[in-house]
Structure 1
Amino acid sequence: MSWLEEVRRIMPSPPGAGDSVDRDAVEASWGTRFPGDYKEFMAEYGEGAIDDYLSLMAPEIHVGPGGESPCMGMQQESANAEDVWRAAGRGAAETPRLIAWGADSSADILCWPATDSDPDKWPVVVWGRGDARGTEYPCGMVEFLCRLFRAEFDECPLGAVSLWGVGSARFLPGEEEQRLRKAGISPWTGEPDPYAGMFGD
């Protein structure tokens, strides 16, 4: 069974999930290809969240230095990861290109150091904001998720154990989460959202 098949078993993809991005245009704008397992995951699941804890990001068209950057998303979180790397005292000259693909409610950033010309060889690095320490896991994004769900690391790599060793997990596409919130429904409980309308659309 492949890593993606095991992730599907633990976390079935909901109907209508999956992205339809122009991958060639996105990769051209970032100046790099993305890992194959990540592209397969995004084709099936797309951007969204797991159990209201871990947000997974799809790449947007990358805006170069001096351009207008979105306030959130893969590009902004990638910049945040590089800032955390520099703040850890490694020096700007040593900062590799980091591409963030996930962020959790504990303020951890999950990213790849995009240093190898073959993106399928990029490891996962988890930056814990609490201690500004990066821990490298020599595996791809989908294997990382699977091993997180199955509690196969020496310890939980994230700031909370919400997804550690879970028997099942729920994925909610970002667009569906937004739709439910706009309708005044809590996306994770299905109940009326007591905070609906308090913070704008």
Structure 2
Amino acid sequence: MSWLDEVMRIMPSHAGAGDTVDWDVIEASWGTRFPDDYKEFTAEYGGGAVDDYLELLTPEIYVSPGGESSYSGMQQESANAEDVWRTSRPEVAEVPRLITWGIDSSADILCWLATDSDPNKWPVLVWGRGDAQWTQYSCGMLEFLCRLFRAEFDECPLSDLSLWGTASPRFLHWAEEQRLRKAGIDPWTGESDPFAGMFGD
């Protein structure tokens, strides 16, 4: 069983989930290939959230009228991760390439340490806001998620135990979450959202 199969067993995707990504364009813009398991996850799940706690990012490119491209979300969070690295490790002269694929409500940052020429060998690197330190995990994104859900690390890698050992985490694609909110439904409880429409679209 692949790591994607195991993630899907623990956390099924839903109708309409998944994003179509032109990886040739994305990888040319970022100047690097992305891990195969991440590409599989993106096709099946896409960008969204797990239990309204962990946000999983996808790279996007926007082309301005002037022809300059920039990234949303993932690029900004990757820049944030590198800023945190500089602040937390001032004794290290060079900042390694960090690419953020997840952030959570505890302000933890989940990255790849993207220094190997083979992206399938990139380890996961987590900035734990709670203990203010970086911790490296010798596994890819999907294995990391599986081991988080199954509580297989020595301790929870995140600052909150919301997803630690959870039997049935729920993933919601950002577009479905947005659709439910516009319909006046709290996407995480299924109940009427008393704040629907109060803050615009």
The question of a shared fold, defined as TM-score above 0.5 by the shorter chain, is answered with: yes
Q: What are the ranges of 5 or more consecutive residues in structure 1 without an aligned counterpart? A: none
Contact 1:54 1:105 in 2 (8 A): yes
Contact 2:61 2:70 in 1 (8 A): no
Count, aligned residues: 197
User: Aligned partners of 1:62 and 1:111: how far apart in 2?
Assistant: 22
Q: Deviations over 1:52-97 (max 9, x none)?
A: 111100011288xxx7866x61111101101110110335732111
SS of residue in 2 equivalent to 1:111:
strand
User: Aligned partners of 1:108 and 1:46: how far apart in 2?
Assistant: 20
Matched, 1:54 2:88: no
Q: Displacement of 1:122 after TM fit? A: 0.4
Higher strand share: 2
User: Aligned partners of 1:37 and 1:68: how far apart in 2?
Assistant: 26
User: Aligned partners of 1:170 and 1:90: how far apart in 2?
Assistant: 38
Who is 1:16 aligned against? 16
Q: Deviations over 1:122-164 (max 9, x none)?
A: 0001112344311100000000000001000000000111111
User: Aligned partners of 2:24 and 2:76: how far apart in 1?
Assistant: 21
Paired-residue identity, %? 75
Matching residue's letter, 1:29: S
Contact 2:185 2:196 in 1 (8 A): yes
User: Aligned partners of 1:50 and 1:96: how far apart in 2?
Assistant: 28
Who is 1:78 aligned against? 78
- When residues 74 and 91 of structure 1 are mapped into structure 2, their CA distance, relative to the original with a 3 A threshold, is farther
- When residues 173 and 118 of structure 1 are mapped into structure 2, their CA distance, relative to the original with a 3 A threshold, is same
SS of residue in 2 equivalent to 1:83:
helix
Matched, 1:182 2:182: yes
Compute the RMSD of aligned alpha carbons: 1.8
Q: TM-score, normalised by structure 1?
A: 0.92
Matches within 5 A, 1:132-147: 132-147=132-147
User: Aligned partners of 1:5 and 1:149: how far apart in 2?
Assistant: 14
Who is 1:27 aligned against? 27
Contact 1:78 1:99 in 2 (8 A): yes
